[in-house]
Amino acid sequence: METNKVLLKGRPKDESGRLPKEIKAYDLLDRLNIEYFRVDHEPTATIESCLEIEKLLETEICKNLFLTTANKSKFYLYFVQGHKKFKTAYVSKQANTSRLSFASEDYLEELLDLTPGSVTVLGLMNDKENRVKLLIDEDILSQEYIGLHPCINTSSIKIKTSDLINKILPEINHDYIVIKQEAAE
């Protein structure tokens, strides 16, 4: 796959070299008639490495943290603005659960078919048993657009936040808990 670092509308014309899980994300968006814009790029593993991509998308790429309880019995995906720090006690209390910490790569792959650096709310489409609960930073809900990965960290897409809430989450049978967290100081 060649990276272009230009804003494109919709799915790639040439899907050769793309993973099935990325194609599945585009299939979901297309099936729901969701308009999206895409930038192909080198792999990104951190929010800091997404700054140039955010400029092209003209929206913030949100952070997705895959979390679990200490006994590994409950799993959460925390969808939060990229500049906010994860405050475990604060988030755990609002999620009404014991203290959360980062879940292992094994669980990430098993439950969401994702790898580190590619974690995305779109991965919830692979969680057919609803084992992963979605936590959304309240400030995301007031944004018109959100930026995220289509299940791989060599592309980023921009969609309307309302499409995530009103189309994608009902389609993949996932609800969410709103988390109120202050920006990092």
What pLDDT does 1 receive? 42
The residue ranges of every structural domain in the chain are 8-179
Strands (E), the chain: 8-9, 37-40, 63-68, 75-80, 101-102, 132-137, 145-148, 155-160, 176-179
CATH value of 8-179 in 3.90.960.10, 3.40.50.1980, 3.30.200.100, 3.40.50.620: 3.90.960.10
Q: Model pTM?
A: 0.91
Q: Give pLDDT tens digits for 22-52.
A: 999 999 999 999 999 999 988 876 667 777 8
